[in-house]
A = this chain, B = another copy of it.
Amino acid sequence: MATEATNGAVAPVQPVTFTGLKSQVFVEASKANDAVAFYKAAFGAEEVNRVTHPKRKADQELPLLLSAEIKLGSSTILISDLADDSTPPHSVKSTGLVFCLETEDIEAAVDKAVKAGAEGEVTEGEGAWFGGRVGKVKDPYGIVWLICTPAKKCGDVEA
């Protein structure tokens, strides 16, 4: 992955390609399971994938949902529990909805968005989003964009 320093003099604008865009709905833990059931009942959604929080299986009856992927029409959205020990993206609690953009080069994507006027950062490790590496961009209109690699879906843990 080609990553340039973010504070160089000459801005080497890299071509950033996004391969996917998904909307992610955050609900109060641990209501994501109920929310998925609701979307099935209300909209005929089809669940195509489910990843639970690995740390919660032992001490909770209902493991938190890192993300359930549900299909509506030809699109998919992600439903996730807001975990206490995760760092939620800015203002998730007020919006409940963020966009997930998938790209192979998180740094370049965040860098480009920041140059365009957004607030942005890349976090990694325990303090990051569910322990994964993810870019977070808040645009000038208050919308939050998570920027992830396609292999690690937004909200997922490594397999």
Interface of A toward B, CB cutoff 8 Å: 1, 3-6, 16-23, 25, 27-28, 31, 34-44, 47, 72-75, 77, 94-97, 99, 101-102, 109, 112-113, 115-118, 137, 139-143, 145
Contacts and interface: CB of A to CB of B under 8 A. Distances in A.
Question: In the assembly, how many copies of this chain are there?
Answer: 2
Main secondary structure of the interface of A (DSSP, over half): mixed
B99 A41 contact: no
A112 B45 CA distance: 12
Given A1-B47, A143-B96, A42 B74 contact: no
21 contacts: A1-B40, A3-B37, A4-B41, A16-B43, A21-B74, A23-B99, A25-B141, A27-B141, A38-B118, A41-B112, A41-B115, A42-B118, A42-B137, A43-B145, A77-B99, A94-B94, A95-B96, A95-B97, A96-B141, A97-B97, A97-B143
A102 B118 contact: no
A142 B28 CA distance: 11
B99 A142 contact: no
Contacts of A44: 16-18, 112
Contacts of A115: 41
A117 B27 CA distance: 16
